[in-house]
Each structure stands twice: as C-alpha cells, then as structure tokens.
Amino acid sequence: MSHSANTSVVNSSAQHSEDDELNVVAAWLSWDTRRVVAGAAAGAFAGLVALLLAMVLSAVNGLDLWFPAKFAALPVLGGTALRYDNTMAIGVGLIVHQTLSMVLGMFYSHFTINNVTSRLFGAGLVWGIFSWIFISCLFVQSFPDIAAVNLPKSAYLLVNMVFGLSLMSVSMFDRAVRGGEKAGQSA
C-alpha cells in the first residue's frame, strides 16, 4: 500500500464517527495530498476564470485589457506596473495572481473535504465573500500602490464571487487526480 493510499485510509476512518456522520474537525486535521493537488488545479482554473472576467470589466470600463494582470504585479513592481507599455508587468502579475489562486484553491479543497455539489456551492459562496473581505478589501489594500488605485469594491466582489464559485471545479479535478476513485477511498 503506497503512502498516499495509507493517508486516504487514515483520512476515511478519521472523518466518520460510529453513526457515519462526518467529523469535520478530524477531516480538517487529516491530510489528503491528492485532494490538495486537485485544489491547486481548481485554484488555477478559478483564477483564470476570474482573471478573464476582470479583463472584460477592465476593457468595458476603458482600461487596458491587461490591467488586472498588471494590477496583481503592483506589490512586486510598484507603480510602474500599470504603465501601458510595461509588458513585464503582465507576466509578473499572471504569476502572482495564479500562485495566490492556487494556494487559495488548495485551502478550499482541504476544507471542503468531499465533492457534494450543494456543499461545494455553499463553500464557494462563502469563499468568494471571504476572499473579497479579507484579501481584496483588507490585505491587498495594505500595499500603498494598490490602495492608491482605488478600484470599486463592487468589481472586487463580482470577481471574487466568480472565483469562489469556480472553485467548485475541485470535484472534477479531484476525480481526475484519483482516476475516478472517490475521496477517502484507498488506491
């Protein structure tokens, strides 16, 4: 039995009580590497979906199409990231944005535990609001170059909600990583 299969067996037994009810704390304290890999993939997918929406919103509002990617580069490159001719900012911003999206996807997958659509939908809504409040409205605003741009909070909310709901794709990636096996089953 491989290490990952061993982990899945441990996770499965730790997640259920005698009455076959889900023990959320035990599940959150266990580690499922394949689920986290699926979460990284879901985060990358959700990040791209959110980025595409942000690009459309930027173009509709008369901004540079690549503004969202350049915006993500602000903490690294400073105010020069938003210059129209700064193509390096696009690459740096994409790396920053996708890395953050993948990390958030990994956490989302760890805390959602299974692939029940209704639970993933609810968690996606909560995750979108969480991302909007704590990441968009609080954390990134601590960077002076980002705070100076003063983007509308409604645009942040819409993009973060789409990101959170797009994380529901974790179920598809989880099945792909497991080769059709359900979460918690051994290989």
- Per-residue confidence in pLDDT tens, the chain, 187 aa: 444 443 443 344 445 444 456 666 666 677 778 999 999 999 999 999 999 999 999 999 998 899 999 989 988 998 888 888 889 999 999 999 999 999 999 999 988 878 888 989 999 999 999 888 888 777 777 777 777 787 778 888 999 999 999 999 999 999 999 886 665 544 4
CA max distance for the chain: 62
Full-prediction pTM beyond 0.75?
A: yes
| pLDDT for the residue 153 | 82
User: Which amino acid type is present at position 19?
Assistant: D
- The two counts, helices (H) then strands (E), for the chain are 10, 0
Q: Which residues contact 132 (CB under 8 A, 6 or more apart)?
A: 153, 156, 157, 160, 161
pLDDT of residue 10: 38
Q: Write down the pLDDT at residue 32.
A: 79
pLDDT in tens, 123-171: 999 999 988 888 877 777 777 777 778 777 888 899 999 999 999 999 9
